[in-house]
Amino acid sequence: MVLEQDGSDAEASRRASPIEFRLEPASGVPTYLQLVHQVEHALRLGYLALGDQLPKVRDVVAELAINPNTVLKAYKELETKGLAVGRPGQGTFIIEAALKQVRLPELTGLRRSLMSWVAAADAAGLDEDGISALVANVLRDFRERRGGAADQRGARHQAEGVA
């Protein structure tokens, strides 16, 4: 890229957002929440960082053909969660990138493993809804087991203190 003397190309690249929103109309999740979840996921995966600018409302509206109020509601929700701040005339920026993140090398390996697993699930005949249902079920079981193990550790520590 060749920079202009006035720095206009540098300014344009600084304003570009590292996230591009996508909608799944059949998901049953309200549009504004889909946008919020995508920002949260991008933060967790390290695609968004402190200071990054979210796409301008007018750009999201033009790209996704949705109501500007929907985008504003999503950005307001991100502000309420303390993840972003709107600056009049400038845009909306990430102010908190402290959602639990996995480091890039581990993330790459996990993604590769998950892609392989999804391919195996597809080969076994599961469609996207079936894969999602199975993952949700396994996550629920994992949380219950992890919670149960934590409860057992707590009970053991309390019992040791009673002796």
For residue 5, the model assigns a pLDDT of 37
Same-domain pairing of 89 and 114: no
Same-domain pairing of 54 and 77: yes
Nearest C-alpha neighbor of 71 from the set 30, 40, 102, 105: 30
For 57-88, the pLDDT digits (tens) are: 999 999 999 999 999 999 999 999 999 999 99
State which residues form the domain around 41. Answer: 8-94
Same-domain pairing of 116 and 86: no
Same-domain pairing of 14 and 86: yes
The answer to the question of residue 31 being in a domain is yes
85 and 95 Cβ atoms separated by less than 8 Å: yes
Same-domain pairing of 113 and 57: no
| Alpha carbon separation from 18 to 5, 36, 56, 112 (Å, rounded) | 25, 15, 12, 22
Same-domain pairing of 28 and 87: yes
Q: Give the three-class secondary structure for 124.
A: coil
d(CA 94, CA 152): 39
For residue 12, the model assigns a pLDDT of 43
Same-domain pairing of 46 and 85: yes
pTM of the model: 0.62
Query: For position 84, which CATH number holds?
Result: 1.10.10.10
